[in-house]
Amino acid sequence: MNTFKTKLGNPFYILLFVSLASVSIITFYGKTKFKKNQSLPTGEDKNMSEQKTVTKTDEEWKEVLSEKQFYILRKAGTERPFGEEYKEFSKQGEGTYACAGCNTELFTSSTKFDSKCGWPSFYDPSDAKNVNTFEDFHLGYKRTEVRCAVCDGHLGHVFEGEGFDTPTDKRYCINGAILKFVPGQKVPKPKTLEKE
Ligand SMILES: [Zn+2]
């Protein structure tokens, strides 16, 4: 009798648990979305982290991006290391780096460093905090993918604890082709690192 009960009980409770979990996730996700939409900026402040999301179809993206940019941003591709973009990046001075897909500020020259890896490297995003990170197992092991918070475009990966002599010991390894450099005056270091 007991065995029968257990056999019957298990799938039922599992189902119940899964349904409850789904409802909680949906409710949480819904709330988060709602919150985001609630705080939409009314002005033209590009640097706000709570910003309208940009969504386009692949066809629409192809109209505004180069083939390489589309491959990186929308298909999570990677440019070859030590390419044209990297050479350009190495020569650039003070300024900010925006997303080529949606023009949102992502990084500044204040946290740029020479990691010699062949891709543009930063040790922290800009104060605008417009990058999101996600776990990525595409190569069979865990990496942390970096995406633009506004258009959800793939930017690159972030690696931690590699021993670089920087305040965060993080390397945001970003594809140069999807960074739009905006030259400007000296950009202060991110506020979170001011004590450095
Ligand atoms: Zn973007």
Looking at residue 129, which CATH number applies to its domain? 2.170.150.20
| Predicted TM-score of the model (pTM) | 0.71
Same domain, 129 and 35: no
51 belongs to a structural domain? no
Catalytic-labelled residue, pool 99, 102, 151, 173: 173
Same domain, 100 and 183: yes
Same domain, 21 and 99: no
81 belongs to a structural domain? yes
69 belongs to a structural domain? yes
Same domain, 14 and 66: no
Same domain, 154 and 182: yes
pLDDT tens for 65-108 read 999 999 999 999 999 999 999 999 999 999 999 999 999 999 99
More confident call, 170 vs 45: 170
String of DSSP letters for 121-156: EESS--TT--EEEEEE-TTSS-EEEEEETTT--EEE
Same domain, 93 and 122: yes
Which residues form the domain of 134? 58-188
Q: Ligand 1 center to residue 17 CA distance, Å?
A: 37
Q: Ligand 1 center to residue 84 CA distance, Å?
A: 21
- At residue 50, does pLDDT exceed 70? no
Please name the residue ranges forming H helices in 39-79: 58-64, 67-75
Same domain, 36 and 89: no
Domain count, the chain: 2
Q: Is 173 tagged catalytic? A: yes
Q: How high is the pLDDT of residue 67?
A: 98
Coil, strand or helix: which one is 180? strand
Q: Ligand 1 center to residue 16 CA distance, Å?
A: 39
